[in-house]
């Protein structure tokens, strides 16, 4: 194996950069920032049996500061809302396939919007916005927060306009399906997760450039576990 030689100062800088960017298993979590993050294909031939994952599912509010690997980041998002059939339909059901709920990922490097069709994270805002993702202190240092955002503008132009209560019910059901998919994936992979209602909604909406027709529903924090009894 050939060794690359660097001047001492350059080698030190390279080591620092690599240390900041490497996640679990030595894989870089985020190679691109302003260009977005291309995600690995999910590995569909692994994981524990469903009944065991249901048994292990719990909410955890204590997280280590270890970053998630690119594999975990990819599979969490695919579990939430990934394409699982040739016709483009997804892992979570949606009323009339309207796909009301988008999944935003908030990581240390910025805010990203998950694109299920391309299976990649699209850049929304650069910088550490984790404090906008929730009011609890653990949110601010956890490696990943998902924000579930309903886009009610997708219901315009329908032959029969749904009631406001119907819109809310459809969106909350869809977001709930996505969050439970993530919970079960995390149970299978030994990751910690918790769904939360407390979000700095105005600050996040401003940072993510949300439109008036978009409404924040709730969030989910994910990471490697610290000691936690769950509930």
pLDDT means per 10 residues, the chain with 231 residues, are 42 36 40 72 93 94 92 97 94 90 97 97 96 95 97 84 87 96 97 96 97 96 78 49
Give the model's pLDDT for residue 23. Answer: 41
Output the CA–CA distances (angstroms, integers) from residue 153 to 92, 100, 158, 161, 215, in the order listed: 20, 9, 11, 11, 10
Give the model's pLDDT for residue 162. Answer: 81
Distance, C-alpha 105 to centroid of its chain: 4
Give the model's pLDDT for residue 35. Answer: 75
Tokens encoding 114: 């998950």
Tokens encoding 189: 């992979």
Within 10 angstroms of residue 45's Cβ, the number of other Cβ atoms is 5
Give the model's pLDDT for residue 73. Answer: 97
Give the model's pLDDT for residue 19. Answer: 39
Give the model's pLDDT for residue 49. Answer: 94
How far is the C-alpha of 33 from the C-alpha of 123, rounded, in Å? 7
Domains annotated on the chain, with CATH: 32-223 (3.40.109.10)
Q: Tell me, what DSSP letter sits at residue 129? A: -
Give the model's pLDDT for residue 137. Answer: 94
Tokens encoding 166: 């119907």
Helices 164-189 and 70-81, packing angle to 10 deg: 140
Tokens encoding 87: 């016709």
How far is the C-alpha of 50 from the C-alpha of 30, rounded, in Å? 30
- Taking only the tens place, the pLDDT of each residue in 116-165 is 999 999 999 999 999 999 999 999 999 999 999 999 999 877 777 788 88
Q: What is the pTM of this model?
A: 0.81
């Amino acid at each position: 194996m050939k060794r690359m030689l660097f001047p001492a100062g350059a080698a030190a800088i390279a080591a620092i950069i690599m240390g900041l960017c490497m996640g679990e298993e030595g894989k870089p979590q985020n190679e691109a920032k302003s260009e977005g993050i291309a995600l690995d294909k999910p590995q569909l031939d692994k994981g524990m049996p469903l009944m065991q994952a249901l048994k292990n599912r719990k909410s955890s509010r204590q997280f280590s500061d270890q970053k998630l690997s690119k594999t975990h980041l990819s599979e969490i998002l695919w579990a939430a809302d990934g394409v699982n059939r040739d016709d483009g339909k997804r892992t979570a059901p949606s009323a009339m396939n309207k796909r009301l709920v988008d999944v935003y990922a908030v990581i240390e490097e910025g805010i990203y919007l998950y694109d299920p069709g391309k299976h990649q994270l699209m850049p929304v805002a650069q910088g550490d916005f984790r404090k906008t993702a929730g009011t609890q202190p653990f949110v601010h240092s956890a490696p990943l927060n998902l924000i579930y955002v309903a886009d009610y503008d997708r219901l315009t132009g329908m032959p029969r306009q749904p009631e406001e209560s119907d819109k809310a019910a459809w969106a909350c059901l869809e977001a709930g399906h996505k969050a439970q998919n993530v919970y079960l994936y995390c149970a299978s992979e030994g990751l910690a997760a918790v769904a939360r209602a407390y979000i700095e909604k105005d600050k996040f909406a401003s940072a993510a450039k949300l439109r008036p027709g978009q409404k924040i529903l709730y969030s989910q924090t994910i990471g490697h576990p610290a000691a936690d009894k769950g509930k």
